[in-house]
Every structure is written in structure tokens, then in C-alpha cells.
A and B are shown apart, each in its own frame.
Chain A
Amino acid sequence: MEHLKKYWKRNLLYLFVLLLIWFSISFGCGILFVNELNAIKLGGFKLGFWFAQQGAIYGFIVIIFIYTFLMNRLDKKFDLDEK
């Protein structure tokens, strides 16, 4: 039981950190701080606009792959992976 509790705790930690990143690149950079970021330019893009229409989506992909990697490693470590 102790074993599984530890697994679940680590699982929640991963989720919390990843969802924090998820929130900050979409709602944060794309909406809440868009005006501040728009003062910075990335080529022809205003940075806030870029996050809202491009950057956040690239970030989402990275988040899912990091999650996949972390969870697969965790499953193995706790010997919970399906063979």
C-alpha cells in the first residue's frame, strides 16, 4: 500500500507541475499578460500574439511528451507497467 501511495503522490506532482506550465503558456502568456508581452517582438510577431496563436500549441505538444516520458519511467520504477 505504501508503495502505491508513493506512486500516486509522484503522479500528482507531475500533473501539478505540467498543468502549471500548461496554464502559464496558454492563459498566462496568451491572455492575461498578452499586452505586456506584445511589447516584445519576435521577428514580425508580437510575442503575446505569437503565444496565443502558435507558441502555446507547441508548448502543449512538449507537455504531453514530457508527461508520457515521466509516467512511463514511473510505471517502470514501481513495476506497474504492462508487459
Chain B
Amino acid sequence: MSVQIWTYIIVGITFALYIGIAIWSRAGSTGEFYVAGGGVHPIANGMATAADWMSAASFISMAGIISFAGYDGSVYLLGWTGGYVLLALLLAPYLRKFGKFTVPDFVGDRYYSQTARTVAVFCALFVSFTYVAGQMRGVGVVFSRFLEVPVNYGVVIGMFIVFFYAVMGGMKGITYTQVAQYCILIFAFMVPAIFISILLTDHAIPQLGFGARLADGTYLLDKLDGLHEELGFARYTEGARGMWDMFCITGALMAGTAGLPHVIVRFFTVPRVRDARLSAGYALIFIAILYTTAPAIAVFARTNLIETVSETPYSKLPAWFGKWEKTGLIIFEDKNGDGKVQYVANKDLNELTIDHDIIVLANPEIAKLPIG
């Protein structure tokens, strides 16, 4: 059977699973619709929160950004997880205790003001629309690739499916599909990371692997720093951003993370305040599995990428290079006409442009894992 047929079968099965869960867990009351009847187990709620977190941005883009930015990419790791701590300590338990479903409800009641409530509603709508716009684009890309239709149709089809789903199952359906989704996503993320880690450093745990020695005895990070210096980039482990720049971006990302409405509402789906606190802890563990693996993937991909392409004759480049070139996400222009790829920091001499978003998807191929 061809890869295409396998893709259809596997995607078909996951869809059947999601829709099955939606029918099985359809909402019967307002409480069930908004907060799953408040009866979700803390561990399940933790997984669902983590799946919410792992939007296209965390799953596909973050490791890629870190791969190109090195230490500078830490702002995303620190910002998004650190903001979660603020959410869990300062917001979630109190909102949960207050017993309202939404933040505008809380603001309106707490400050005895309809005006405050209206302002909060507009803020929530604005935040949600901005957030959904990005996510729907991701949904559209996936559906357009899967059904081989233009991306605009992909967005519309995806929208209808999500709508059908959310209206029927409400928060309960979404919570249990998120649990299933978390398991699938983390599996897809971890398997290549573990194998590449074993291939490079003999460590099965990527978090340890990227601080370990290579077969020739040098530390992987030292080697990558060396490669970066050779090509004129800032050292990978030190980055180029100023300290206060890092400080302020991290702070801003933390504040933003603490206010995500779809994550806050998750804390209403557990039975008691005590469970809300506990489920915040579980959620962070599940999130941390992804967030501590991402920097390891970033280092593996960066090292493999530089070693594969730098100074390699164009005709000898591996097959993945050509495939991604066709999508326009890798661009090579032979400026000095020597037929080899010069990948350097200097913009006038650099001949290679790579879109950050392809790193996670292309990583297994770059590392020569036997896939596809």
C-alpha cells in the first residue's frame, strides 16, 4: 500500500475516534456544555490543558525557532511555561473558588459593574479571535494537504467540523478528545527525538542527550558552538540578544500566557478547588515533556542541518532538500557560482534561506532516520 493510502487510513481512524468520543460524551446540561459538568479527573484535565497548549505554535514552530535562535529562543520556553505558573498560583484557584464559568462573569460580579463586564467580554472576544485566526490557518493547511483542496476550502471544512463538534459535545467532548489528542501529539513528537538522540549521543532521553558527548568525544553543544563560530553566527549557547531585551520579552510572554481564556476555563472542569490546583501541576508536567524536548530537537536539527548542507555541492544534497525546495520553504541561490551551498551569517555571502517552521517536520529526514 502506498504512503497516501496509509495516511488516509490513519487520519480516518483518528477522526472516527474523535467523533466517537464526541457522541459518547455529548452534553446534556448547561453545566456539562460549559465546564463538562465539573466532573473531569485532574489528570485527564491536565492532559487536556496540555493539548490546548500544544497548538500549532508549540508543536511545529517552537523547536524550529529555537534551532535558529539558540539561547535567544529561551524566551519562548521561559515565557510560556513561566506564565503558566502565574496562572496556576494567582488566577486559577480564585476563579475556580468564585464559581463562575467565564472571566467576564468574574470581573462583572467582583467589581459590581456591568461596564467592567462588557469591557472584559470585548477583551475576551478580541483575544479569542486573534488566537483562533492562527489556529484555523493551521487547521486549513492540514485539511488542504489531506483532502488536496485549496487552503481556503481547508479552513472552511475545518471550521464546520470543529463547529459541529463543539456544539454537540461542548466542553465535555472537547476535554476527552483533547486527552486523546495529547497522547497522539506527544507520541509523534517524542519518537523521532528519542531515535535521533540515540543516533547522535547514545542517550535515549533527549533532555540528557543534547548535553552529552558525541561519538568522537566532544560535547554536542561545544561542537555546535564551534560550527556557529566558523560560519559567523553568534554562539548557539549564548545568542545575540541583549539581556534586557530577553528580560522584557520573557516578561511579556509570561503575562500573556497567564491570561489565555481557553486555558483558564479548563480549571472549571474539575470538581473542587483542590483538584484545580492539582490539575495545574499535572498539566505542567505534560507540557514540560514537550517543552524540555523541544530545545533538544533544536540542537540535534541545527547540528545535522549545518553538517549536511554546509559546503556541500548542490548536486549531492539529500532528497529532502529538493522536496522542501519545491514548497518554497527552502531557497538556494548560488551567488558565487561554485556549485556548493554556503550557509553563513553574512547576508551578502549566504546562499541558503530556510523557513523555521519546517524544522520539526523535516527533522527525521535531516537526521537520516529511515522514514518516508
A residues sitting closer than 8 Å to B (CB atoms) are 15, 18-19, 22, 26-27, 30-32, 34, 38, 42-46, 49-50, 52-54, 56-58, 60-61, 63-65, 67-68, 71-72, 75, 81-82
Contact = CB atoms under 8 A, between A and B. Distances in A.
A57 B288 contact: yes
B84 A60 contact: yes
Contacts of B213: 44
A19 B171 CA distance: 31
B212 A44 contact: yes
B360 interface: no
Given A44-B212, A68-B278, A26 B288 contact: no
A42 B74 contact: no
Given A31-B250, A82-B274, A57 B291 contact: yes
Contacts of A65: 281
A50 B250 contact: no
Please indicate which of the listed interface residues A30, A46, A57, A71 has the most CB atoms of chain B within 10 Å of its own CB. A57
Interface string B281-295: 100110010011001
A43 B214 CA distance: 12
28 contacts: A27-B247, A30-B78, A31-B78, A31-B243, A34-B71, A42-B211, A43-B212, A44-B210, A44-B219, A46-B237, A49-B238, A52-B71, A52-B77, A53-B73, A53-B292, A54-B295, A56-B77, A56-B78, A57-B288, A57-B291, A58-B292, A60-B284, A61-B281, A61-B285, A64-B85, A67-B277, A68-B280, A72-B277
B295 A32 contact: no
Contact of B88 (A32, A53, A67, A72): A67
A19 to B, nearest CB: 7
Contacts of B280: 64, 68
B274 to A, nearest CB: 6
Given A61-B281, A61-B288, A68-B277, A53 B212 contact: no
B220 interface: yes
Contact of A68 (B71, B219, B222, B281): B281
Nearest to B294: A53
Interface of B, secondary structure class, is helix
Chain B interface residue number, banded? 35 or more
Contacts of B212: 43-44
A22 B85 contact: yes
Given A54-B207, A56-B78, A64 B274 contact: no
Contact of A44 (B66, B207, B220): B220
B237 A71 contact: no
A82 B337 CA distance: 74
Max chain B CB contacts within 10 Å: which of A26, A64, A72?
A64
Which secondary structure characterizes the binding site on chain A?
helix
A57 B89 contact: no
Contacts of B243: 31-32, 34
B262 interface: no
Contacts of B250: 26-27, 31
B221 A44 contact: yes
Contacts of B84: 60
B99 to A, nearest CB: 11
A63 B74 CA distance: 20
Contacts of A38: 237-238
Given A44-B222, A45-B221, A82-B273, A53 B281 contact: no
Nearest to A22: B85
A43 B66 CA distance: 21
B82 A22 contact: yes
B137 interface: no
B90 A60 contact: no
**Considering the complex of A and B, which 8 residue pairs feature the smallest CB-CB distances, nearest first?**
A44-B219, A52-B74, A44-B211, A53-B295, A45-B211, A68-B277, A64-B281, A49-B237
B82 A26 contact: yes
B81 interface: yes
Given A18-B89, A67-B88, A68-B281, A57 B77 contact: yes
